[in-house]
Each structure stands twice: as structure tokens, then as C-alpha cells.
Amino acid sequence: MVVNDYPAHPQASMVAVEQGVKSLILLPITARDRMLGMLSLISVKTGHFTADRVQLLTGIADGLGIFLENAELNEQVSLELELRRRSEEQLRQQTEDLEALLGFARVAIGPGSLEEKLTSILEALRRISATNEVALRVPDPDNGSLVLVAETGDSDMTGQPKALTRGVSVKAFDLGEAVIANDYPSSPDHIADTVAKGANSMMALPVKTGHSILAIVVLISKHRYHFSPQLIARITSLGEGIGVLLENARLNHEVTFKEDLEQRRDTFVSVAFHEIRTPMAVIEGYSELLLNKTLPEHIKQESLERIHRNARSLSAIVDDMLNVSRIHSGKLTLDPKHVSLANLLAEVAASLEPIYVQHQIYIEIGAQVPPVFADVDKLSQILTNLVDNALKYSPDGGDITITATHDPKRDRVVVAIADEGLGIPPEDREGLFELFHRIRRPETAGIKGSGLGLYIVKEMLDLLNREIWVESELGKGSTFFVSLPTK
Ligand code: ADP
């Protein structure tokens, strides 16, 4: 039903006319001859619903019919709904954790006093963990006690003891791992004052950088059994990020940086957040779609896949940021051991193969190649970044060949990662290993990246006192070489 001069209509409502309604359209929503609902649109313009618009809106109403019918059907399938609810909840939690981590980074790098920064990080943790009090304690090198440096919580919970020499947090510090007391009043480590304030469960988490414990985060709840295995896992996974950023916050606070360093930091922050915004927006958009509407199965599947892909790239960016942050604060530590390249390369290839289906990865290691002497995590990161680039910059597929050759005279093994991809022209090789350096050519335009990968590789190799070099021909492919020590 179309009414293009509403005030003149015999059944017009006075209220609607007063509100300025001039035209109106009412469209039945039907599915298989069943009336499911009504779509009504109003306009403040006379004659708004032209024939074209009516046709368009009729089409939309028909579509809605199919959609609503689907929704009705789906409502009946409770198992599916339950599954969806769970994956939505998981997704929500993951997004929340990532946001918290980014929040920490923003706080750590941004302005403000050390105390403000710490409090706002603790506040985020308190929100995520739904606890009543979160405190941060650091060891006092003089007497070994754990001193309260920041806390945030309900008014009846704050004011925790200033220095502690026993209790759950001291236990966590001594053990170097998280301690959970889900029935705090009956824990042998309870402290009477804290019980008197209403504490019923407690979790103490060591915050580490490298091998040393920087601080202990103490989370307290008024409820018994507050810390479920899932919550413990989430809090623990946020712990590492907090460590690095706490350290950064402390450094930022104490050291006055030279201008160029600040400039670099500013660029880092703005590029990093720019990189994060895109996948974040995609995740937000698609999860909203999944939350608000019951969609056909294939669209749901596609949305979830997109969310998954973007969450992966988001966590890769966050990992890169944390690495760069560690490099900048001099916190990259090494724990070298003898490592078999065959195993490590097989792992690296296996982790990347499912993402790139068009490529073949070949690993060729001679029997006489000895193990290398390196920090396995750093080495794995270096090789992953290089193999990932080899795959990424071969958009048409092709072979990736990884070879390792022994150079006994110089006690080294040279690993070469060769691709058949785009190649790098000589003029673009300068600055290849610099922070944020990306080659901007038409062929690379659609390839995502942040220009952090090779910088991290180079910095990590510098730390190992090792070199990296590249041979490449435009259009034919590139080979990146890294030399690794055998002792
Ligand atoms: P990202 O891949 O995030 O842009 P990287 O620091 O890993 O950052 O690489 C910097 C640039 O070097 C890339 O933008 C790309 O243009 C170029 N590059 C790296 N590896 C290769 C490769 N195997 N083949 C061609 N170009 C490469």
C-alpha cells in the first residue's frame, strides 16, 4: 500500500501528521503465501514513493521474507544456536584480549606518569577478569619482600598490605609460575587481613621479561572458585604482553629519549595502529553480522573464515610489534643451544604450508650438515619470516627451496631460502632491512605486510652476530641467505 500524500488520507493519524509524515509505504513480508510481518517506511516528503522506489522496496521485502523464514527455521535448531553462541563468545573474548593487549601498548608508549600507566593496565585486567581487586607488586632487592606499587579495585578491597614476605604472591614469585587459590580463606598461604577484606579467591601471576620476574600481578575476587581454567589461561596469556610493556613503560618513564628515537617511536605507533585497524575493522564487521542476523550457512562459514584469517594476521602483527618493542628496549635475550635444522625447518614449513596451497616447499639438507648453535625461538622466527616472505612474494605459486650447506672453515652453516617469485630489483635493495621498509611496485600492491619482518630478522641476526644477504632477479625470484654458527 502506497500513500504519497499522507495528510490527505482519510485514515491518517493526527499524531503522525503532526510529526511531519508526508508519505508512507506498507509492504507485506511473505514467504510461501504466509504473512510473516510488515515493513513500513515513512518519509517527510510528499510523493516520496515513486514507482522505482516501490519496485525496489518490494524486492527488498521479498528478500526479507526468505530471510525471516530462514531465521525461523534456524531458531528451531537449538544445537546450532548453542554452537554459534559458543563461537561468538570465544570470538568476543579473543577480540577483548587483543584489544586489551593493544590498550597496554598504547598506554605503555603514550604519555602519563608511570603510576597512571600501571593503574590503567591493571584496570583493563580487572575488567577482563571480572575480579574485585588487582594489584601489582615488585620485589624489593634489599630485603626480598614484595612491595605494592599499584592497585585498583572496589573501595573495600583496596589498601592491601604494603610489603609482603609470605602469601600467595610470594609463593608465585618463588615458584616462577602462577599460583591459584580458589578457596583463599582455607589456603595455607592466606593472609588474615586480606580474608577480612572479603577475599575468597586469588590468582598471583609472575610477569616476566626474559628469565627474570619483573613483578607479580595479584587478582582477587570476592567469590570462591572465581578462577576457571579458561580464565586462568586468558590471564596467563596476557601476562607476557604486560611484561614487555611494563618494562617499556618503566624505561619510557625513567629515560628521556633523544628526539630521533621519539620520532621513530611515533612512526612505529602510527604505522602499527594503521596496520591493526584494517583487520580489526574486518573482524568487527563480520562478527557483528554474525551476532545480529541469522544468515544462510555459506555466508556464516565465509564470515567465520574471514574473521579467522584476519585474527591470524592481527596476532602476527601484535607478535611483530612485541618483538620490535623488545628490540627497542634491549630486552631481546638469547638462550643458544645446538639445534637440528632439519627438524626446525620441517616445523616452519608445516606451519606455513596450510596457508599457501599453491606452493611446494622443498628442504635439502646434506647428511654432513651439523646442528647450528642458536636460540631456537629466535631462529624459528627468523626462518619463519623468510619462508613466509618467499611464499607471500610468489603470488603465482612455485617452488620454495631451502638448502643448508656446511662451511667448516668458518664454522658456519649457510641456509638459503629460494623462491620463484617477484624478485627484487637492485634499486629496491637499499633499505630492505629497515623498519617499515616496503617495496612499492604495482606487483606488490595487493600483498599485505607491515615492513616489520625483515627488520626483525636483521636485528635478531645482529644479536647473534650473524649476517644476511640476498641475491635476486626481477621476475625470476629471490634467494635470502643467512649464516648460522655451529659452535
Ligand atoms: P612485509 O612483508 O611486511 O612488507 P618485510 O620486512 O618482511 O615486510 O619485507 C620488506 C619488503 O621486502 C617487502 O615489502 C617486499 O617488497 C620485499 N621482500 C621481502 N622478501 C621478499 C621476497 N622473497 N621476494 C620479493 N620481495 C621480498
Nearest atom, ligand 1, residue 417 CA: 23
- Ligand 1 centre and the CA of 333: distance in Å? 25
Q: Identify the pLDDT of residue 168.
A: 95
Q: Are 22 and 5 in contact (CB under 8 A)?
A: yes
Cβ of 477 less than 6 Å from ligand 1: no
CA–CA distance, 484 with 471 (Å, rounded to integer): 18
pLDDT surpasses 90 at 310: no
Write down the H helix ranges in 293-425: 297-328, 341-352, 376-392
* Least confident interval from 112-116, 174-178, 266-270, 458-462: 266-270
Identify the residue whose C-alpha is closest to ligand 1 atom 13: 438
Cβ of 450 less than 6 Å from ligand 1: yes
* Residues whose CB is less than 8 angstroms from the CB of residue 102 and which lie 6 or more positions away in sequence, other chains included: 273, 276, 318
Q: Identify the pLDDT of residue 213.
A: 83
* Residues whose CB is less than 8 angstroms from the CB of residue 276 and which lie 6 or more positions away in sequence, other chains included: 102, 314, 317, 318
User: Mean pLDDT over residues 271-284, rounded?
Assistant: 74
Question: For a pocket test of ligand 1, which of 438, 440, 468 has the largest count of ligand atoms closer than 8 A to its C-beta?
Answer: 438
Identify the residue whose C-alpha is closest to ligand 1 atom 20: 389
Q: For 319-375, how does the pLDDT look when each residue is reduced to its tens digit (9 = 90+)?
A: 777 777 777 777 777 788 999 999 999 999 988 887 788 899 999 998 889 999 998
Q: Which amino acid is at 134?
A: V
Q: Identify the pLDDT of residue 264.
A: 56
User: Mean pLDDT over residues 13-27, rounded?
Assistant: 89
Q: Identify the pLDDT of residue 258.
A: 38
Residue 27: which of 40, 44, 43 has the closest Cα? 40
pLDDT surpasses 90 at 197: yes
* Least confident interval from 153-157, 242-246, 297-301: 242-246
pLDDT surpasses 70 at 381: yes
pLDDT surpasses 70 at 272: no
409: its cell numbers: 672453515
Identify the residue whose C-alpha is closest to ligand 1 atom 3: 449
- Ligand 1 centre and the CA of 382: distance in Å? 13
CA–CA distance, 210 with 203 (Å, rounded to integer): 22
Question: For a pocket test of ligand 1, which of 384, 454, 471, 480 has the largest count of ligand atoms closer than 8 A to its C-beta?
Answer: 454
Which one is predicted more confidently, 202 or 52? Answer: 202
Which one is predicted more confidently, 44 or 87? Answer: 44
Residue entry with cell 514467504 = 31
91: its cell numbers: 570470538
Q: Identify the pLDDT of residue 265.
A: 59
Which one is predicted more confidently, 354 or 470? Answer: 470
Q: Identify the pLDDT of residue 308.
A: 84
Q: For 204-226, how does the pLDDT look when each residue is reduced to its tens digit (9 = 90+)?
A: 999 887 667 888 999 999 999 99
Nearest atom, ligand 1, residue 422 CA: 25
- Ligand 1 centre and the CA of 134: distance in Å? 42
Q: Are 180 and 232 in contact (CB under 8 A)?
A: yes
* Residues whose CB is less than 8 angstroms from the CB of residue 301 and which lie 6 or more positions away in sequence, other chains included: none
Q: Identify the pLDDT of residue 343.
A: 92
- Ligand 1 centre and the CA of 210: distance in Å? 29
Q: Which amino acid is at 393?
A: Y
Q: Counting every residue, how long is the chain?
A: 487
- Ligand 1 centre and the CA of 444: distance in Å? 9
Q: What pLDDT band is residue 388 in, cutting at 50, 70 and 90?
A: very high
pLDDT surpasses 60 at 81: no
Cβ of 478 less than 6 Å from ligand 1: yes
376-392 vs 453-463: helix crossing angle, rounded to 10: 150
Residue 415: which of 427, 425, 393, 400 has the closest Cα? 400
Q: What pLDDT band is residue 176 in, cutting at 50, 70 and 90?
A: confident
Strands 2-3 and 23-31 come out as antiparallel
Q: For 235-269, how does the pLDDT look when each residue is reduced to its tens digit (9 = 90+)?
A: 887 776 677 666 665 554 443 333 445 555 556 66
Q: Identify the pLDDT of residue 238.
A: 75
Cβ of 317 less than 6 Å from ligand 1: no
pLDDT surpasses 70 at 270: no
Nearest atom, ligand 1, residue 433 CA: 6
Cβ of 456 less than 6 Å from ligand 1: no
* Least confident interval from 92-106, 127-141, 187-201, 473-487: 92-106
CA–CA distance, 331 with 333 (Å, rounded to integer): 6
Q: How far is CA 325 from CA 105, 218, 409, in A?
A: 9, 25, 36
Cβ of 393 less than 6 Å from ligand 1: yes
* Least confident interval from 26-30, 47-51, 89-93, 457-461: 89-93
Q: For 281-295, how does the pLDDT look when each residue is reduced to its tens digit (9 = 90+)?
A: 778 888 888 887 677
Cβ of 420 less than 6 Å from ligand 1: no
- Ligand 1 centre and the CA of 393: distance in Å? 7
pTM as predicted: 0.49
Identify the residue whose C-alpha is closest to ligand 1 atom 23: 390
- Ligand 1 centre and the CA of 27: distance in Å? 55
Q: Identify the pLDDT of residue 210.
A: 66
Q: What pLDDT band is residue 103 in, cutting at 50, 70 and 90?
A: low
Q: Identify the pLDDT of residue 399.
A: 95
